[in-house]
Chain A
Amino acid sequence: MTTNKELWENVLTELELSLSKANFTTWFRDTHIVRTDDGTVYLGVPNQFVKDWLASKYHKLIVASLRKLDESVRAVEYAISRGPAKRETQKAAPLSGGQELPLESVHAQTNLNPRYTFDSFVVGSFNELAHAAAQAVIRKPGIAYNPLFIYGPTGLGKTHLTQAVGNHFKAMAPDRKVYYATSEKFSMDYVSSMQAGKVHLFKEKYRQYDLLIMDDVQFLSTREKTKEEFFHIFNYLHDSNKQLVFSSDQHPNVIQNIEDRLKSRFSAGMIVSVTKPDKESRLAIVRTKAANQNFDLSDEVVDYIADTIEGNIRELEGALNTLICQAQLKDRVLSLADVKTLLRTVGQPKKAVSVREIIKAVADFYGVEEGSIYEKTRRKEVVKPRQIIMYILREDFRVSFPTIGDKLGGRDHTTVIHSCEKIREDLKTNSALGQEISQIRLMLK
């Protein structure tokens, strides 16, 4: 099947022959098919002049040419749309040498990047809950889920989602105050306000917002005074039904050095996770990102990218950018073989982790003595970490059962098999365990 683009190009070739050059370039430049719907072709034209003229003068000709190539075409509608934007690439006139007004990119007052919108957000099974929660927050800010806490590994769109909430909120209610800050920025603000002796201004500033978004709250954990200030601001905003949105790379319960009073406050609203995208979602993401950049990719290439790069959306985007850049440089369509060579270096190499490191990480995570893992004890608080270690060694590192038993203080391989089975079974019912294990995996990276 021909795409809309090809169809329209064929129509244009035909029209070019039947019209004078001047007429053709004047009226058909920058036209394109926006979409086709049940036999109706929606034609995008640059402005009203062209719309009226095509409709009154060339309508029959356009319909006839379209039908010649595609018999299912029944009608043609015209719509004004800028279409595949051809932005002029001329350089800014260096007439001023002055500083520029902070008009765009980052809205001075909200700190939001307008690029992050819901339109550009790909929803899949891996993030649909987070997306739905964000939507609910927008519909009923301050009431639906307050605070909204989104957590998950890096590069999965947490920032995109939280900023999209802000941008959407801002667009809906331009007079309401929205602010986006990373926890780093928040701390810096606090420290510099202390230095300037203007802590009251800091407090006022953060208490005025109707929607406060804070990214990467896990970094708050080391700063005692900042945390305290954050706690008060949180309470103030939450009590006045102002919406709060947070993101972090960990579940609030496992962020270290965060007091229980903060943890319980984070948990008061809604805690949702974004996980790694599945294959279908990765395919959708690659397609969307490629379409956004007007870059054509064959299905097998899309499939290959989605297969090779698992997990991180940022890496997917990076790989895609590499391909686009190469395609532009070489000025040709990349074959699958090209893509394979190009992407060989992109995938993240698996880091070598020693068994000892894993044991230490898990023991630390559950707060047990590293040494007790090797002992013959059957205390409950030791057994669970030990089983998890076995499970991770088996699942993630493909270590043989006898070796695992050997490394963990000379245990029989049947014990190891039993442990792995047990964790696997537990995982089916116990979601908290799943979270713990994914946290541990994160720490091992």
Chain B
Amino acid sequence: MQVEVASSDLKTAVGIASRFVSRTAALEALRGILFIAEGRTVTLRATNLECGVEISIPAKIGDGGLVAVPGSTLSSLVSNMGGNGKVTIATTGNLLTIKTEQASSNIKTLAHEDFPILPTVSGEHSFSVKASEFAKTLRSVAFCASVSGIKPELQSVLVSAEAGTLSVAATDSFRLAEKKTPLKGVEIPRLLIPIRNAAEMIRLLEDGSGETEVYYSTDQLSLRVKDAYFTTRLIDGTFPNYKTLLPSSYSTEAVVLREDLSQALKSLSLFADSYAQVGLSVEPKKKSVTFSARNTDVGEHTAQLSAAAQGESLEMNFNGRYIADALGSITSESVRLGFNGVGKPLAMMPAGDTSFVYIVMPMNR
């Protein structure tokens, strides 16, 4: 193989591909990035057998061919590469030579015959979404997905669509987030994207512009963003029927300024105990929501926020971090808090917007 590519293209492509490299795989090839030089492009492929990516970059090809090199070495090398000129890549024996204007390196290659192919999704199930919108939608719930592997179905982001609405949701069983956006004319069955793969998918989509076509089968989902092809396995499981958990009405409601709440939670986090427990009390008569935290080693802190509140007054405890997490997905000026009494979850929504809802269970004292 002997090719010439632009240094900036190579940097971007290796940057993306290296995120899919499995560093600990038993199969050596999986620790590598495969270069495929053919026609007018060089395609970089990487996979950890959970998800995989292929990125094509324009190239001047002297000699086509295949070569695999260790991903970690390559990405460190390329990210430190100076200059914006051309890079020449060539193989000699079991060495890959990468030459820039200033530097030249020889990297030992891996057996490319062992490098797996990426699945392509067959069948005609597909839908089209605006890449950046889809990324934003997914990101607004992804933080809720479970990190523990006990329930694989919760280690995922749920994507489904019906009646003109695309719904995504995630939960770790302590809290749950759902985001809806309009999506005309398609029905998507419940697809469970593993959360780690979803994170990579979101990063790719964020780079994209315009519409992206997403293909899916019962086991696999693929999409193309710019010059990258991404594919991930889907989880075979049943996501809980969470819609029934979303309250339709509240016995107590309060609307606070997002900025106030965010600041209060930051201060509270200094004083919260190891479970991040904060007390929350709503007093509609006083038009206030009061947060408090106490840590025997540090001290205690109280923050009273003025609020437009109605319903019964109440007092509950929550994980402060969970409440703060939601503010990453609520960008409106004010936040609506909904309660249904002791032992029932707190719902958080952007004021005047029903497309996002976040529910979090209280803590036992």
Q: Which residues of A contact B (CB under 8 A)?
A: 21-23, 25-27, 47-53, 56, 80-82, 87-88, 90-93, 96-104, 107-109, 174
Which of B52, B116, B175, B363 has the most chain A CB within a 10 Å cutoff?
B116
Q: B254 → chain A, closest Cβ, in Å?
A: 20
Instruction: Choose among B119, B220, B362 the residue that contacts A98 (Cβ–Cβ < 8 A).
Output: B362
- Are A174 and B363 touching (Cβ within 8 A)? no
Chain B neighbourhood of A107, CB < 8 A: 241, 244
**B150 CB-CB contact with A under 8 Å:** yes
A399 to B118, CA, bound (A): 77
Within 167-218 of B, Cβ neighbours of A (below 8 Å) are at: 171, 173-176, 218
State how many angstroms separate the Cβ of A197 from the closest Cβ of chain B: 17
Q: Are B27 and A52 in contact (CB under 8 A)?
A: no
Could you pull out 8 A-B pairs where Cβ atoms are within 8 angstroms? Answer: A22-B27, A23-B114, A25-B26, A48-B231, A90-B149, A96-B275, A99-B343, A99-B364
Once A26-B30, A48-B233, A98-B318 are accepted as A-B contacts, the answer to whether A104 and B219 lie under 8 Å apart by CB is no
Q: How far does the Cβ of A227 sit from chain B's closest Cβ, in whole Å?
A: 30
Residue-by-residue, is B130-166 near A (CB-CB < 8 Å gives 1, otherwise 0)?
0000000000000000011110001000000000000
Interface contact A103-B173, CB-CB below 8 Å: yes
Which B positions have Cβ atoms within 8 angstroms of A?
25-28, 30, 47, 49-50, 52, 114, 116-119, 147-150, 154, 171, 173-176, 218-220, 231, 233, 236, 240-242, 244-245, 275, 277, 318-319, 322, 343, 345, 359-364
Our pick among A22, A56, A80 for the contact of B117 (Cβ within 8 Å) is: A56
Check B30 against A49 for contact (C-beta < 8 Å): no
Do B319 and A48 touch across chains, with their CB atoms under 8 A apart?
A: no
Task: List the A side residues contacting B30 at CB < 8 Å.
Answer: 26
Return the contact of A26 from the options B26, B319, B345 (Cβ within 8 A): B26
Highest count of chain B CB atoms <10 Å: which of A47, A50, A81: A47
A429 to B116, CA, bound (A): 71
- B219 x A22 contact (CB < 8 A): no
Which of A92, A100, A102 is the one whose CB lies under 8 Å from B150?
A92
**Are A98 and B319 in contact (CB-based, < 8 A)?**
yes
Residues of B within 8 A of A96 (CB): 174, 275, 319, 322, 363
Among B52, B149, B218, B231, residue most surrounded by chain A Cβ atoms (within 10 Å): B149
Indicate if the CB atoms of B116 and A53 lie closer than 8 Å: yes
* CB < 8 Å neighbour of A101 from B231, B361, B363: B361
Contact between B148 and A92 (Cβ–Cβ < 8 Å)?
Answer: yes
Residues in B whose Cβ lies below 8 Å from that of A25: 26-27
Cβ contact within 8 Å between A103 and B240:
yes
| 6 closest Cβ pairs, A-B complex | A48-B119, A103-B240, A26-B27, A97-B275, A98-B363, A48-B220
Assembled-state Cα–Cα distance A139/B319 (Å): 46
Residue pair B275, A82 in contact (C-beta under 8 Å) = no
Q: How far is the CB of A355 from chain B (nearest CB, A)?
A: 56
Please indicate the chain A residues that have their CB under 8 angstroms from the CB of B52 in the complex.
49
Partner of B174, one of A21, A50, A82, A98: A98
Residues of A within 8 A of B219 (CB): 47-48, 80
A101 and B117 contact, Cβ closer than 8 Å, known pairs A47-B233, A80-B219, A107-B241: no
Given A26-B49, A52-B119, A108-B245, does the pair A101, B345 have CB atoms closer than 8 Å?
yes
**A304 smallest CB distance to B (angstroms):** 37
Within the complex, the shortest CB–CB distance from B139 to chain A, in Å, comes to 21
Q: Is the CB of A104 within 8 A of B240?
A: yes
Contact A21–B26 (Cβ < 8 Å): yes
The residue on A at minimum CB distance from B175 is A101
In the assembled complex, which residues on chain A have CB atoms less than 8 Å from the CB atom of B319? Answer: 96-98
Give B43 Cβ to nearest chain A Cβ, in Å: 17
Smallest beta-carbon distance A96→chain B, Å: 5
Residues of A within 8 A of B364 (CB): 97-99
CB-defined contacts of A99 to chain B, threshold 8 Å: 174, 343, 361-364
Residue among A90, A104, A108 with the most chain B CB within 10 A?
A: A104
Say whether B363 contacts A97, CB under 8 Å. Answer: yes
Q: How far is the CA of A81 from the CA of B47 in the complex (A)?
A: 20
User: In the docked arrangement, what's the CA distance between A93 and B147, Å?
Assistant: 8
**A23-B27, A96-B319 known; A103 vs B150 contact (CB < 8 Å):** no
Contacts A21-B26, A51-B119, A88-B149 given; does A100 touch B173 at CB 8 Å: yes
CA distance A90 to B150 in the complex (A): 7
Q: Chain B: which residue is nearest A55 at the CB level?
A: B117
User: What A residues does B28 contact at CB under 8 A?
Assistant: 22
- Shortest beta-carbon distance, B68 to chain A, in Å? 14
Query: Judging by beta carbons under 8 Å apart, are A101 and B171 in contact?
Result: yes
**Inter-chain contacts of B343 with A (CB < 8 A):** 99
CB-CB nearest in chain A for B117: A52
Which residue on B lies nearest to A96, using beta carbons?
Answer: B174
Give the chain B neighbours of A93 by CB distance below 8 A. 147-148
The answer to whether A49 and B119 have CB atoms under 8 Å apart is: yes
Q: When chains A and B are docked, how far (Å) is the Cα of A365 from the Cα of B28?
A: 78
Contacts of A88 in B (CB 8 A): 149-150
The answer to whether A101 touches B362 (Cβ under 8 A) is no
- Least Cβ distance of A176 to chain B in Å? 12
A22 to B220, CA, bound (A): 24
Which residues from B are CB-within-8-Å of A49? 47, 49, 52, 116, 118-119, 233
A37 to B242, CA, bound (A): 39
Q: How far is the CB of B177 from chain A (nearest CB, A)?
A: 12
Neighbouring B residues of A51 by C-beta, 8 Å: 119
Q: Which residue of B lies closest to A52 (CB)?
A: B119
Q: Pick from B28, B118, B244 the residue with the most CB of A within 10 Å.
A: B244
**What's the Cα separation between A104 and B364 when bound, in Å?**
20
* Contact status of A26 and B25, CB under 8 A, knowing A98-B362, A99-B362, A100-B173: yes
Chain A residues closer than 8 Å to B50, beta-carbon distance: 47
